[in-house]
Amino acid sequence: MRTPYQRDRDRIIHSAAFRRLEYKTQVFVNHEGDHYRTRLTHSLEVSQLSRSMCRVLGLNEDLGEALALAHDLGHTPFGHAGEDGLNAAMAPFGGFDHNAQTLRILTQLEARYAGFNGLNLTWETLEGLAKHNGPVHDVPRAMAEYLQQHDLEIHTHASAEAQLASLADDIAYNNHDIEDGLRANFFTLAELAELPLVGNIVAEVDAHHAGLDNHRRTHEVIRRLINRMVADLIEQTKQNIAAHPIASVEDIRQLGQPVVHFSDEMQVVNKAIKSFLKNRMYRHFKVNRMTSKARRVIQELFRFYLSEPDCLPPTWFALTGEPQSQQTAEAVCDFIAGMTDRFALEEYARVFDPTTRI
């Protein structure tokens, strides 16, 4: 009744790791507002873009959707701040990488099926998640462990579906971080209009819809910006495919360069948006404060569990070895990486606040 990729998609959606994305954040911590993006809403938005573009390009929609839905499963609580904190804490034990953690979740940590660990996904889905950002040369610890059992050919490019899902991720988080940043009053639409392409779109909206309230005006600008980026990506990818002798998926893997990418002009726009968001949003003093708190929460929890693994819940304690050992560090890393923002803050209070009930 289902294709293998439809089965992959369904198993991802029904996984515990996917449900936890509801309480893992992009930029803002979960309790800061009901309308800010979470990893779950972001993954759904990436999935919609990926599936739509796969359909236009004649790619496998189900594979593109599965890759998009699973791409953020390995993220820690508190976004990139949490990942930086956990990577620093794990430095003596091989470090932490969220892409490798995604692979670890999908092949081992999701222990729910009677006949196997993980979700038993197809090779193409696992390959695409392992190298959707391009060939992997500096192999993370968690990925290296899996590759000893199953070769994902990580030194080649991924399928066109995986490349497309990766850029759908770019389109989604750039545009929706713009919306969240405007909602948080980190910058104004007038300031955004100074960016290439964005200014033209703002002018278009004002010319066709004079007198719009700020909420509708913002939405109209963002939806048009998404549309331009999607259209550019599709057209450029069609040209790339036509320009190379591509007759199979293997030809795409062995091409030596991505077949899916923006035009040169749109790459300039994309880079400008990223730079603007980095300076005006990701480094905003309010975000910096939360980032500092997040790193401290993650690192202090890690040090505590590493020294006193018998304070872990029983199912996790059973996976540990001696205090300060590699085995214990990896178990603690898996435990913390799987936390939601809310659970991490509650666990921090349970461990370090004498007045909080255990």
- Residue 30: the pLDDT is 47
What gap in Å lies between CA 49 and CA 65, rounded to an integer?
A: 9
Mean pLDDT, the chain, rounded, equals 94
Helix (H, G, I), strand (E, B) or coil at 25: strand
- Residue 34: the pLDDT is 53
Nearest Cα neighbor of 140 from 100, 107, 87 is 100
Task: Give the model's confidence band at 31: pLDDT under 50 very low, under 70 low, under 90 confident, else very high.
Answer: very low
pLDDT in tens, 48-79: 999 999 999 999 999 999 999 999 999 999 98
pLDDT exceeds 90 at position 358:
no
The number of CA neighbours under 13 Å toward the Cβ of 302 is: 30
pLDDT exceeds 70 at position 198:
yes
**Tokens 């892409």, residue located:** 99
What gap in Å lies between CA 323 and CA 302, rounded to an integer?
A: 12
What gap in Å lies between CA 57 and CA 54, rounded to an integer?
A: 5
Q: Which of 23-37, 84-98, 133-147 has the lowest mean pLDDT?
A: 23-37
Task: Give the model's confidence band at 132: pLDDT under 50 very low, under 70 low, under 90 confident, else very high.
Answer: confident
Q: Which helix (H) or strand (E) holds 155?
A: none
pLDDT in tens, 236-262: 999 999 999 899 999 999 999 999 999
In the chain, where are the structural domains located?
Answer: 1-358
What gap in Å lies between CA 180 and CA 173, rounded to an integer?
A: 10
- Residue 286: the pLDDT is 86
Helix (H, G, I), strand (E, B) or coil at 133: coil
pLDDT in tens, 281-310: 988 898 888 889 999 999 999 999 999 999
- Residue 291: the pLDDT is 87
Domain 1-358, CATH 3.40.50.300 — does that match?
no
Structure tokens given for 41: 């809403």
pLDDT in tens, 71-83: 999 999 998 889 9
